[in-house]
Structure 1
Amino acid sequence: MNVMNFGPLLKKARIGAGLSQEELAPQMFLPRSTISKLENDKMEIKASDLIRWFQETQVPEVAVALLCGVDVIAVSQLITSLLGGFINFL
């Protein structure tokens, strides 16, 4: 079974929402140290926490995409590279 590392995705969602680990922790009902461990893939995230994370960071569509089997990290990397190339083109 393929285990997905959610850390980079979690961190990207948090930063995109303009939240520090300290600000997100109480919203998640977790200690800041747990937020750090989750973002660094030092701890597995529970499904309920994963859904809440994307709700609190205002990206619930990411949770839906994951549930539908979309490789969100690959898609976001592709979009980032496409946008970077487009901006360089301009």
Structure 2
Amino acid sequence: MDYGKILKGFRETAGFTQQELADLLNRSRSCISKFESNRKLTDIATFREWVKVTNCEFQAMVVLFGTDIFANVSQALSLVPAFIRVISIF
């Protein structure tokens, strides 16, 4: 998986330049460039902050967990109304 491309996508989705994101993450523009070109690996804390600052939590979950988790959650949520009806009987 090309994490640099993913991070760049998050940044671009948020509408930030490398310098703007670097300022928000307290990093250099060069550091951001290295992350995005896979010349430097990001640690989990930096990844988490990057996702938070770019407001790409949903996209990050898809990257980390795949789309199956969302299919399962959607399926479970569709059962909630029936579950509530059963509980209200008691």
Alignment deviations for residues 32-84 of structure 1 (CA, whole Å, 9 cap, x no partner): 1000000000000101111111111111123333443x28xxxxxxxxxxxxx
Residue 30 of structure 1: aligned partner: 27
CA RMSD of aligned residues (A): 1.5
Instruction: Say if 1:6 and 1:41, in contact at 8 Å, map to a contact too.
Output: yes
CA–CA separation in structure 2 for the residues paired with 1:45 and 1:62: 17
Count of matched residue pairs: 67
Q: Report whether the alignment pairs 1:13 with 2:10.
A: yes
| Candidates 49, 52, 55, aligned match of 2:52 | 55
Q: CA deviation at 1:10?
A: 0.6
Q: Which runs of 5+ in 1 are unaligned?
A: 72-90
Q: Percent identity?
A: 31
Q: TM-score by structure 2 length? A: 0.66
Instruction: Say if 1:50 and 1:63, in contact at 8 Å, map to a contact too.
Output: no
Q: Which runs of 5+ in 2 are unaligned?
A: 68-90
Q: TM-score by structure 1 length? A: 0.66
Residue 83 of structure 2: aligned partner: none
Higher-helix-fraction structure: 2
